[in-house]
Amino acid sequence: MLLISTLLLAVTCALSIAIGSREVPLDQVWAAVTGGDVDQATRTAILDLRVTRTIIGLLVGAGLAVAGAIIQSVTRNPLADPGILGVTSGASFAVALAVAVLGVTNPNGYVWFAFLGAAATTVLVYFLGSGKGGPNPLRLTLAGMAFGAVLSGIIAAIRFSDPQRFNALLVWESGSFQLRTLDTTLPVAPFVVAGVVLALALGRSLNALALGDDLAHSLGSSVARTRVLSIVAVTLLAGGATAIAGPIAFVGLMVPHLARAMVGQDQRWILGLSVLLGPSLMLVADVLGRVVLRPGELPVGIVTAFIGAPVLVALARRKKVSGL
The three-state DSSP-derived secondary structure of 181-229 is CHHHHCCCHHHHHHHHHHHHHCHHHHHHHHCCHHHHHHCCCCHHHHHHH
Confidence band of 134 (pLDDT split at 50, 70, 90): low
> Would you call 13 helix, strand, or coil by DSSP?
helix
In whole angstroms, give the CA distance from residue 197 to residue 277. 16
% residues pLDDT > 90 (the chain): 39
Residue range(s) defining the domain that contains residue 204: 1-317
| 98 is a domain residue | yes
Lowest mean pLDDT among 33-42, 89-98, 147-156, 228-237: 33-42
- For residue 118, pLDDT over 80 is answered with yes
- For residue 319, pLDDT over 80 is answered with no
**Cβ 151 vs Cβ 95: under 8 Å:** no
Lowest mean pLDDT among 67-71, 127-131, 238-242, 256-260: 127-131
In whole angstroms, give the CA distance from residue 290 to residue 284. 10
What DSSP designation does 55 have? H
This prediction has a pTM of 0.90
| 15 is a domain residue | yes
In the chain, count of helices (H) and strands (E)? 16, 2
> Could you give the number of structural domains in the chain?
1
pLDDT at 192: 95
| 252 is a domain residue | yes
Mean pLDDT of 148-166: 83
Lowest mean pLDDT among 93-102, 125-134, 302-311: 125-134
Identify which of 58-62, 104-108, 135-139 has the greatest average pLDDT. Answer: 58-62
In whole angstroms, give the CA distance from residue 61 to residue 67. 10
DSSP labels for 107-133? GGGGHHHHHHHHHHHHHHHHHHTEETT
| 151 is a domain residue | yes
In whole angstroms, give the CA distance from residue 197 to residue 192. 9
| 136 is a domain residue | yes
| 323 is a domain residue | no
Strand partners, 130: 135
pLDDT at 200: 97
**Cβ 19 vs Cβ 290: under 8 Å:** yes
CATH number, position 19: 1.10.3470.10
Confidence band of 229 (pLDDT split at 50, 70, 90): very high
Q: What is the pLDDT of residues 257-300, one digit of tens each?
A: 999 999 999 999 999 999 999 999 999 999 999 988 887 889 99
User: What is the total residue count of the chain?
Assistant: 324
- For residue 322, pLDDT over 70 is answered with no
**One-letter amino acid for residue 74 of the chain:** V
| 322 is a domain residue | no
| 296 is a domain residue | yes
Give the gyration radius of the chain's Cα atoms.
Answer: 20
